[in-house]
Structure 1
Amino acid sequence: MTVLEDLVRDYRTILLRYLSRRDETVLAEGYGLGRRALAGGVSVIDLVHIHHRVVAELAETDLAGTSDTTLAASELLVETLASYEMTRPPVGSAGDGVAGPVGPVPPREAGR
């Protein structure tokens, strides 16, 4: 199996487990999967693709199609991507004039 195939299998397993019992332990498994993907050089785009592939597979079963399932899948995706977010350099606050994700953020003026 390739790294991506392993991630698809593991993501599917974790998502199914999270659908049956929504707890922090299972979300922590998603976070760990994200760390493993990051360490293996897997892109965020690949992880999102894996998420959508697994959710699409679920859509063909009785497990998908409800807003509750969609919300749970979203929660797991966010947790899985959290490890990527932690590797990004911090973006400056609105008050310090540090460049943000879309360009320089102007310093706040007094009284605004």
Structure 2
Amino acid sequence: MTSDVNTRARRQSPARGLAPTLIEFLANQGYVEIRVIDDTVCGLRRFNFTVGLVVGLSFEGYERRYCYEHARDALAALLAWDGREHPGGPWIKCKGAGVDLLNPALQV
């Protein structure tokens, strides 16, 4: 268990090390819980009907987002995610350039 925690800590860190201008820009765009996971900038943001766990944040936009119904589920998924595969939890849909994927775990 301890090695899992240590490995996750190495893969995921708060926004330390990011340019302050990027952090400020993202915060002004409504992003919270900004962190780096495996060299990829991620964060949470409220959208019209969901909370997005947003992956690949930059000044230009983002790579993809996982839509969650509840903020608490998105936060738990972000904090537990190692950046590989899809994050956990009950995300509804993954959206991005060329991506429109329903969560296979929720399909019946």
Please give the range of the TM-score, normalised by the shorter of the 2 chains: under 0.3
Q: TM-score, normalised by structure 2?
A: 0.21
Q: TM-score, normalised by structure 1?
A: 0.20
Of the two structures, which has the highest relative contact order with CA contacts closer than 8 Å and spacing of 6 or more?
Answer: 1
Larger radius of gyration: 1
Answer 1 or 2: which has greater strand percent: 2
Answer 1 or 2: which has greater helix percent: 1
